[in-house]
Structure 1
Amino acid sequence: MTTTGRRPELSAFLRSRRARVTPDQVGMPPGARRRTPGLRREEVAQLAGVGVTWYTWLEQGRPINASAHVLGAIARTLRLDAAEREHLYRLAEVPPPAADAEAPAEVPGDLDTILRALDPLPAMVVNARTDVLRWNRAYAALHPGLVSAPSGERNTIWNLFAVSPAHTHIANRDEQAPEAVATFRYRYSRHLDEPHWQGFVARLCSASPLFAGLWATHDVAAPRLCDKRYDIPAVGEIALRSTGMDLTDHPGLRLVVHTPADERSRQHLDRILRQG
């Protein structure tokens, strides 16, 4: 949609959202003789901390500039949910602020049901920073050290770089490492100003010279399918194809499933599960 087409859409959207918010919902007196339902333009401007003329022009679809900060204040005033907020930024042609990268307080229970149903395929739920939030029995059997790590280190990037290969049994770390860092930087670019991301990268650079060297290249790559190989003592090699799927109902979360690449790997994975 062109800018010319977005402005009328933005105008109509703001009017419709303003009409559904009552003065009582935002702690304002109802006033007398309201000709239309919802808030007046001047009330939205007052609550959002912007000029009445500026907000009027925005709602009229005039070609004015808006910052992410100001749009955020308007979104809060109009009580927009996550989808409506994203829609507002898109119509105004303003990049939305990065979503909070911290793990949700609770991962929805339906994901646990899905994870159990995926056994014997190893599967997990991760956030944008690759913190492992949930996993199934097969994933725990393949990664016992990772799932038992403290929360700050229960992370696939940390496990790849900061944990000894003797404990992770990753056979192709040198092959995985450059792509893992490039993909991590792709996600990191959305969270540049967030201290917990900055601190995590600093800890990784300190813990792993390999990560620090790859991070210094500034290589970046979009996420894609990748191959993982493990050499499990007393079992043998397991080759897996890793597939990640964004969960649209839970923004910021991904379901990652590991599928055996060949029959031998499937048999070895079954053997690990039987031992567990």
Structure 2
Amino acid sequence: MSAAGGNSELRDFLRSRRAKITPADAGLPASSGRRVPGLRREEVALLAGVSVDYYVRLERGRSVNVSESVLDAIARALQLNDTERTHLFRVARPRRGSRRPLTAQRIQPGLAQVVASLHDLPAVVLGRRLDVLASNAMARALFTDFDEVPLRERNVARFVFLDESARDLYVDWPGAGRGAVAMLHLYAGRHPDDPQLAELIGELSLRDTDFRRWWAEGEVYFRSHGAKRYHHPVVGDLVLGYEALTPTDDPEQTLGLHTAEPGSPSAERLQLLASWSSPSAAVT
């Protein structure tokens, strides 16, 4: 996100990546009296083959018309993975003048039908800024009833950091929080001028110290599959796999599905959650 006096997203990202690389990691001799946890700016400049002044200006978020070859060299020096490298290119060379105001996002009809048809698995569709565009009854039973939340507040990051129930639901709540922050950073690289993103980051920074600290660390990553552990107040402990599926024609909408290993205790508890969340289960 842009800020007065420079590109704050670029500045914070480079500082955080530099802090993670030790001299030993970079093949440099260790020295005494170091005042920084990772590499010094001059060491990154040396490894990347650029002048110290040039790198300092870049890390301060100043516009230096950085070339692709220089960015490649800095990515190698900082040992960035593919996701981090892509993010570096986006924030170091933002497009100017061609940005259009973001229009209200609408869920793809096909995705809406998929979510509505799933009755045994939690399913959500996430849009920009981790906004919840749609959720089925199972997802609302597992997380929270997003349909009861004001439209502008239906957001995964808001749920993770501002809903007290989330800290009990996620067994690894710090991991869930860091993951949400990392995905917001990726989004910031694509849409640095999104006013709703700025509003969201500002509110979460003011209201949660963990968010404020993790945002400053500049982590970026996106995991399309894996496993998460939950402690649900009704059905107990769950170990659920997740898959994040993104349509090729709309990369800003993602279908998220949770599954359980067949025959496992989690599968049985997921079935119990389905029964509990079914409208027919309501007492008349």
TM-score (norm 1): 0.59
Aligned to 2:28: none
For residues 100-154 of structure 1, what are the alpha-carbon distances to aligned partners after superposition, in whole Å with 9 as ceiling and x for unaligned?
A: 65542x4233222211333311111111311101112221221234342112221
Decide whether the 8 Å contact of 2:160 with 2:167 is kept in 1: no
Change (3 A) 1:147 1:167: farther
Decide whether the 8 Å contact of 2:127 with 2:254 is kept in 1: yes
Give me the CA root mean square deviation. 2.7
Task: Look up the equivalent residue of 1:107 and give its one-letter code.
Answer: I
1:203 aligned onto 2:203: yes
For residues 18-71 of structure 1, what are the alpha-carbon distances to aligned partners after superposition, in whole Å with 9 as ceiling and x for unaligned?
A: xxxxxxxxxxxxxxxxxxxxxxxxxxxxxxxxxxxxxxxxxxxxxxxxxxxxxx
Change (3 A) 1:101 1:140: farther
- Displaced runs of 4+ in structure 1, greater than 4 A? 94-103
Aligned mates of 1:176, 1:145 — CA distance in 2: 19
Decide whether the 8 Å contact of 2:160 with 2:166 is kept in 1: no
Aligned to 1:269: 270
Give the greater-gyration-radius structure (CA).
1
Alpha-carbon offset, residue 267 of structure 1 = 1.0
Decide whether the 8 Å contact of 2:124 with 2:139 is kept in 1: yes
Higher RCO (Cα < 8 Å, 6 or more apart): 2
Aligned mates of 1:137, 1:233 — CA distance in 2: 16
Aligned to 2:227: 227
Aligned to 1:152: 152
Change (3 A) 1:199 1:166: closer
- For structure 1, the 5+ residue unaligned runs are 1-93
Aligned mates of 2:253, 2:231 — CA distance in 1: 29
Change (3 A) 1:137 1:234: closer
Corresponding residue pairs, total: 183
Aligned to 1:25: none
Aligned mates of 2:256, 2:103 — CA distance in 1: 18
SS in 1 for 2:129: coil
Aligned mates of 2:131, 2:168 — CA distance in 1: 16
Aligned mates of 1:190, 1:135 — CA distance in 2: 25
Aligned mates of 1:101, 1:142 — CA distance in 2: 31
Decide whether the 8 Å contact of 1:129 with 1:187 is kept in 2: yes
Aligned to 2:138: 138
- For structure 2, the 5+ residue unaligned runs are 1-93, 278-284
Change (3 A) 1:260 1:122: same
Aligned to 1:114: 114
Alpha-carbon offset, residue 209 of structure 1 = 1.1
SS in 1 for 2:217: coil
